[in-house]
Amino acid sequence: VIDKSTWEKLTEQFWLDTRIPLSNDLDDWRKLSNKEKDLVGKVFGGLTLLDTMQSETGVQALRADIRTPHEEAVFNNIQFMESVHAKSYSSIFSTLNTKAEIEEIFEWTNTNPYLQKKAEIVNEIYLNGSPLEKKVASVFLETFLFYSGFFTPLYYLGNNKLANVAEIIKLIIRDESVHGTYIGYK
């Protein structure tokens, strides 16, 4: 029952970033201070790191414990949507930032010891943890590790800025709430 209802929920919620007019946020973006732009870039750098890890390593680690074809279908959808999320961050970057700025953001992301430690801890569990530990790590990643990064774009939405960027974040939050609940239940 949970597999069927989750599948239906996930397929009802399907979306792609190409349907969100991110370029409509360019006027707001240009009005932000350099500090604000730096903050937003770093937030999305961190989210990209974690979502990429979840789509490439996390869901794959959970697959070892799949018991039914229905469960496999749900995990296929989750893995695909994690890739959509990571691509969405890329679309945000490419709309708002220059190539040099994007390279600078990812240099920061790849060398920030706190982000790297966070990713390392979760990835270590994905590679070597028990099935239960992998599910707990995934739920933590799908919920509070992602949600802490969602504050900044939602803050700007609350101040009538970057509405389309925030729309993507709201769609990702909607997905992650289903992913975290499903994996936690399993």
CATH architecture for segment(s) 2-14+24-185: Orthogonal Bundle (1.10)
Annotated catalytic residues are 89
pLDDT of res. 147 = 83
Q: Which residue has the tokens 């992998």?
A: 134
pLDDT tens digits, one per residue of 76-116:
999 999 889 989 999 999 999 999 999 999 999 999 999 99
Q: Which residue type does 12 have?
A: E
| pLDDT computed for residue 51 by the predictor | 85
- The pLDDT assigned to 62 comes to 92
Task: Round to whole Å and give the CA distance between 76 and 132.
Answer: 20
Residue spans per domain, the chain: 2-14+24-185
Query: N- to C-terminal Cα distance for the chain?
Result: 12
Q: What is the pLDDT of residue 64?
A: 86
| Cβ within 8 Å of residue 65, ≥6 positions away | 131, 134, 186
pLDDT beneath 50, residues of the chain = none
Task: Please tell me the pTM assigned to this model.
Answer: 0.88
